[in-house]
């Protein structure tokens, strides 16, 4: 298949450009057999009920069964969700995904007694258990569970909450199907008069088009589709927030934000420091928009003018294979072993599902499980530099997973989301260093500096704006204020004005953007992109300028998985996220880049 073919069907995609899932199951029949076997195993959970306080050995036996069951279930789920994301319109894949999700919910219900029963073990008795060698391996795991004593309900209540899990994901699933399968984004006229169908995959590419008419048409046509479904999107997002509030209140948390941060032992101050630090450093962002307006020679700067490259005549084009070669070179500071493994994964072992096809999930991610390779979903575009950066980003996630699974037992191999964005953004930082280190002409340097600025803008400023939106809408809901279409738009509009400042004209349709962000269905996740880029750039500077153990410290961080709390993992790698300094340093870096852009374009 030509990588540039617009939106082919799945069977038109070449095997070489698809991920290779054969190492997980040799056939769909094998997957179904293992699913049936695990469905039969679930009843064994009942044999442990009421036994956990009897002895350390009884507790260990239950924990081992639960760990082994979860490992098998994770493999079944991973295969089903990857196949489902290949083509959301494939009925068999949908059916299999629903089957495994039913098992996930049944397992959650069947195992829900474990945490509450552990909590009911008297503290003195539990301390005695923890002192025994039999439980030495599980000490950190148990410590994480015991933190939830005051947030754990009775066995029956926990079972009831677990049983509601399938119902609780309805809003997210409905958004997913509406946004990826049912939503018709419309068409626009291309530069040669041809009809161009809008997709989530080509929207950003069209916003980088030099022809302003195309950018403007793409923008307004895209948001017209959201406007036609705005009440549905509003209702889904409101329902998702109400669902979250139900769970946080049921679990005795003061807020859903507190519940979300508690799971990774992240102090609320980290969240608040991020927003406060960004608020104090908005002037460089406004300055950048002013530069963009001047360089594009526009009377008014709109959002659809904020992604187009600032120098004309440079059209980005890079094949997937060439992108892998560039990433390979860029990552050399991470050592031969790292570079060889990431190259093998991307080029030979087919970790990546490369291109867009009809029904395929939009966006990009890294997935996989303990018993599989890492896998990367891409919708790679040869004409969009962001695709190269996205590939480097997801490869960072995949290598983090690869090292974690290789060096940690299953129980401690899954790193938390707070540190998940560090390795990915670290790779992006190295890719920029690589591109800028080459002998390039001034226009290309401007192009790349602008790309780096936009990366900071999209990851640090934009994700902080998203984080502030989440904070405000959840605070409103927790204050019993109604969440309506207009209230969502009002809150988002206020943030748009604050983060874009006086230089950008905000089109009336732009507040609808809050309804197209999938991460809002995984609440209080987005702030981690902003803290992640701050930590990543601090570590990238440390590794590339270091002369001693800095690389070993960073690789040690990748290998540590979830064996410590995330703040401690980052501290061992060389960065303290309890301090506002990493965020402030990243913001200072952004300001310096804007100053450099101003200098480079002074004669334009």
Ordered by start, the domain boundaries in the chain are 10-168, 169-183+229-349+384-604
Cα–Cα distance measured from residue 235 to residue 490, given in angstroms and rounded to the nearest whole number:
15
End-to-end CA distance of the chain: 41
pLDDT tens column, 86-106: 999 999 999 999 999 999 999
Q: Give backbone dihedrals phi and psi of 6, rounded to 5 degrees, phi first.
A: -75, 115
Is it the case that residue 547 has pLDDT exceeding 70? yes
Is it the case that residue 172 has pLDDT exceeding 80? yes
* Strands 187-189 and 195-197, sheet pairing: antiparallel
394 is catalytic: yes
Answer positive or negative: Cα dihedral of 393, 395, 396, 400: positive
Is it the case that residue 2 has pLDDT exceeding 70? no
* Burial bucket for residue 480 (CB in 10 Å: 0-12, 13-18, 19+): exposed
Percentage, residues of the chain above pLDDT 70: 99
From 394, 428, 468, 470, active-site residue: 394
pLDDT tens column, 403-461: 999 999 999 999 998 898 899 989 999 999 999 999 888 888 998 899 899 989 999 99
pLDDT computed for residue 4 by the predictor:
46
Average confidence (pLDDT) over 131-158: 92
* Strands 187-189 and 301-302, sheet pairing: unpaired
Protein fold of 10-168: Butyryl-CoA Dehydrogenase, subunit A; domain 3 (1.20.140)
Which residues have C-beta within 8 Å of that of residue 551, sequence separation ≥ 6? 333, 334, 335, 543
Task: Indicate the class that CATH gives domain 169-183+229-349+384-604.
Answer: mainly alpha
Which residues have C-beta within 8 Å of that of residue 130, sequence separation ≥ 6? 139, 142
SS in 3 state form for 246-279? Answer: HHHHHCCCCCHHHHHHHCCCCCHHHHHHHHHHHH
Cα–Cα distance measured from residue 395 to residue 365, given in angstroms and rounded to the nearest whole number:
9
Average pLDDT over the chain, rounded to whole? Answer: 94
Angle at 351 between CA 347 and CA 353, to 5 degrees: 100
Q: If you write DSSP's letter for every residue of 368-434 in order, what string do you get?
A: --TTS--EEE----TT-HHHHHHHHHHHHHHHHHHHHHHHS-GGG----HHHHHHHHHHHHHHHHHH
pLDDT tens column, 237-279: 999 999 999 999 999 999 999 999 998 999 999 999 999 999 9
**Residue 551's Cα: distance from chain center in Å?**
25
Is it the case that residue 84 has pLDDT exceeding 90? yes
pLDDT computed for residue 335 by the predictor:
94
pLDDT computed for residue 5 by the predictor:
58
For residue 600, give both structure tokens: 């480079």
pLDDT computed for residue 600 by the predictor:
93
Average confidence (pLDDT) over 392-397: 96
């Amino acid at each position: 298949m030509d990588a540039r073919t617009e939106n082919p069907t799945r069977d038109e995609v070449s095997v070489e450009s698809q991920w290779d899932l054969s190492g997980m199951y040799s056939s769909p029949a094998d997957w179904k057999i293992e699913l049936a076997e695990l469905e039969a195993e679930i009843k064994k959970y009942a044999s442990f009920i009421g036994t956990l306080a009897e002895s350390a050995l009884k507790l260990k036996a239950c924990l081992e069964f639960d760990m082994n069951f979860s490992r098998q279930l994770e493999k079944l789920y991973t295969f089903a969700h990857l196949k489902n994301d290949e083509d959301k319109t494939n009925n068999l894949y949908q059916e299999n995904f629903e089957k495994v999700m039913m098992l996930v919910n049944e397992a959650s219900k069947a195992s829900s007694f474990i945490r509450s029963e552990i909590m009911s073990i008297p503290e003195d008795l539990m301390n005695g258990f923890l002192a025994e060698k039999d439980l030495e391996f599980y000490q950190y795991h148990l410590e994480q569970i015991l933190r939830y004593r005051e947030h754990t309900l009775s066995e029956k209540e926990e079972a009831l909450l677990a049983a509601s899990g399938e119902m609780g994901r309805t809003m997210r699933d409905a958004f997913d199907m509406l946004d990826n399968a049912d939503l018709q984004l419309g068409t626009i006229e291309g530069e040669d008069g041809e009809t161009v169908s809008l997709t989530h995959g080509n929207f950003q590419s069209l916003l980088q088009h030099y022809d302003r008419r195309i950018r403007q048409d793409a923008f307004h046509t895209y948001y017209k589709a959201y406007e036609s479904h705005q009440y549905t999107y509003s209702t889904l997002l409101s329902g998702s927030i109400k669902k979250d509030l139900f769970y946080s209140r049921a679990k005795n948390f003061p807020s859903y934000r507190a519940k979300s941060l508690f799971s990774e032992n992240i102090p609320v101050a980290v969240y608040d420091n991020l927003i406060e630090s960004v608020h104090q450093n908005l002037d460089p962002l406004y300055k950048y928009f002013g530069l963009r307006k001047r360089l594009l020679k526009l009377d008014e700067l709109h959002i659809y003018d904020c992604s187009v490259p600032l120098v004309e005549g440079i059209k980005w084009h890079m094949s997937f294979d060439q992108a892998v070669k560039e990433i390979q070179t860029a990552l050399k500071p991470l050592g031969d072993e790292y570079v060889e493994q990431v190259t093998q994964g991307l080029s030979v072992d087919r970790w990546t599902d490369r291109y867009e096809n009809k029904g395929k999930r939009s966006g990009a991610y890294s997935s996989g499980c303990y018993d599989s390779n890492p896998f990367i979903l891409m919708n790679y575009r040869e004409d969009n530099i962001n695709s190269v950066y996205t590939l480097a980003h997801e490869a960072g996630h995949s290598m983090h997973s690869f090292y974690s699974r290789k060096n940690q037992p299953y129980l401690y191999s899954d790193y938390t989301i707070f540190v998940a964005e560090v390795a990915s953004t670290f790779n992006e930082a190295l890719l920029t260093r690589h591109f800028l280190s080459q002998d390039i002409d001034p226009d290309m340097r401007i192009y790349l500096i602008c790309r780096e600025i936009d990366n900071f803008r999209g990851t640090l400023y934009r994700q902080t704006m998203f984080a502030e939106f989440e904070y405000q809408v959840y605070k409103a809901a927790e204050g019993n204020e109604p969440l309506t279409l207009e209230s969502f738009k009002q809150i988002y509009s206020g943030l748009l004005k604050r983060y874009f400042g006086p230089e950008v004209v905000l089109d009336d349709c732009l507040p609808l953007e809050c309804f197209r962000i999938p991460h809002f269905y995984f609440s209080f996740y987005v702030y981690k992109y902003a803290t992640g880029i701050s930590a990543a750039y601090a570590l990238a500077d440390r590794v590339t300028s270091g002369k001693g153990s800095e690389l070993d410290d960073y690789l040690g961080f990748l290998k540590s998985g979830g064996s410590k709390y995330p703040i401690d993992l980052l501290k061992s790698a060389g960065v303290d996220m309890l301090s506002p300094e990493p965020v402030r340093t990243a913001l200072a870096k952004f300001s310096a880049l804007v100053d450099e852009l101003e200098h480079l374009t002074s004669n334009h």
